[in-house]
Amino acid sequence: MKRIQITSEFTEFENVNELSPDDQKLVEEARLSANKAYAPYSRFQVGAAVALENGKILRGNNQENASYPIGLCAERVAIFAAGANFPGVKISAIAVTASSDQFHIDKPITPCGACRQAIAEYEHRYHGPIRLILVGETGKVLVSDSIRSFLPYQFTADDLQVKTS
Ligand code: THU
């Protein structure tokens, strides 16, 4: 037998001002998107912005429903919009942020498990990592080079022996 150890690497920035101008712009897009979220039930407004390799930026935000489980997270709305509107164009980065009128969010929020799996699909589909930039309303910024940091030991199309491209 052997023990397997998997490590994850992240970069932490003190605040958004330490980010590159491109990353700051992506965070700003995510903030604008969070303001337009449809989250009347949780009042937790999440915004995502996806940067494509062709220079386009697409926004997504959480879309809730009176039938609670039907709602969709901001990350998946954004990633699926990219897949729907620009199939075949690689996604290079995604910024995610959240705001609430109930409490102040002073630390990065990290994608839920389902969104991690959805983002992993697109890394696999386009054969390249997607950088994640995560931030709350204020405070530190968490950056990772790939969803692998958040989702090691992935289940992918390879396990189904399916070619996605
Ligand atoms: N939510 C997201 O949009 N992204 C996440 O990564 C975590 C949770 C949404 C789902 C729901 O509309 C609200 O936040 C509260 O869970």
> What residue segments make up the domains of the chain, in order of their start?
11-155
1 CA → ligand 1 middle, Å: 40
130 CA → ligand 1 middle, Å: 20
Q: Residue holding tokens 């630390």?
A: 107
Lining ligand 1 with CB less than 6 A are 39, 42, 44, 46, 62, 64, 71, 73-75, 111-112, 115
Which CATH number describes the domain made up of 11-155? 3.40.140.10
Query: What pLDDT, on the 0 to 100 scale, is given for residue 2?
Result: 97
Query: What pLDDT, on the 0 to 100 scale, is given for residue 10?
Result: 98
Query: What pLDDT, on the 0 to 100 scale, is given for residue 46?
Result: 98
Residues with Cβ within 8 Å of 157's Cβ and at least 6 positions away in sequence, in order, are: 121, 124, 125, 163, 164
Residue nearest to atom 3 of ligand 1 (CA): 73
Residues with Cβ within 8 Å of 46's Cβ and at least 6 positions away in sequence, in order, are: 34, 37, 39, 61, 62, 73, 74, 75, 96, 97, 98, 109
DSSP 90: P
Q: Residue holding tokens 């901001």?
A: 74
pTM score above 0.75: yes
Q: Report the alpha-carbon distance of residue 135 to residue 42 in Å, rounded.
A: 19
Whether residue 9 lies in the annotated active site = no
Q: Report the alpha-carbon distance of residue 164 to residue 122 in Å, rounded.
A: 10
Query: What pLDDT, on the 0 to 100 scale, is given for residue 7?
Result: 95
Residue nearest to atom 1 of ligand 1 (CA): 73
62: nearest Cα among 105, 99, 20: 99
Residues of the chain predicted below pLDDT 70? none
Query: What pLDDT, on the 0 to 100 scale, is given for residue 105?
Result: 98
